[in-house]
Amino acid sequence: MVDLDLLEGRLLTAARQGAPVTYGALLAFFERRVTPITVRALCRDLGRVCDRIEARGGPDLACLVVRASDGLPGTGYFQSVRGAGRYDGPDTGETAARFVAAEQARARAWAASLAVDPR
């Protein structure tokens, strides 16, 4: 759906700036509207980019893409990290928020440690 290199660049920018990006803002960057279909496609592409980054030793940057309503990633994100054995809590609430905050801190620290774009 989107250019994976551009998506990776946006995730790196978000990590370096220390601020998550909403699904809507990310889709708008790619000139897409928020619909169930575009969100699913974006999530698929996020998975592909995160696989690339993790293969190079980087952290999961999908934690930086959040809902505007509560500042947390969507259900698919939590299913993914549960499937990877990294989280066993709920998709919403304080436990989820603490987990995401820790993951975002890892993403920020990793991005700050990069001297140049790792691609």
Q: Where are the domains of the chain?
A: 4-112
Cα separation values, 118 from 10, 58, 93, 105, 111, Å: 13, 9, 34, 19, 9
Q: pLDDT tens digits for 49-63?
A: 999 999 999 999 999
The whole-number pLDDT of residue 107 equals: 96
pLDDT at residue 48 above 90? yes
Q: Is the entire prediction scored with pTM above 0.95?
A: no
Burial classification of residue 67, based on how many CB atoms lie within 10 Å of its CB (0-12 exposed, 13-18 middle, 19 or more buried): middle
Nearest of 26, 36, 35, 34 to residue 2 by alpha carbon: 26
Q: What is the mean pLDDT of residues 70-92?
A: 95
pLDDT at residue 80 above 80? yes
Amino acid at position 65, single letter: V
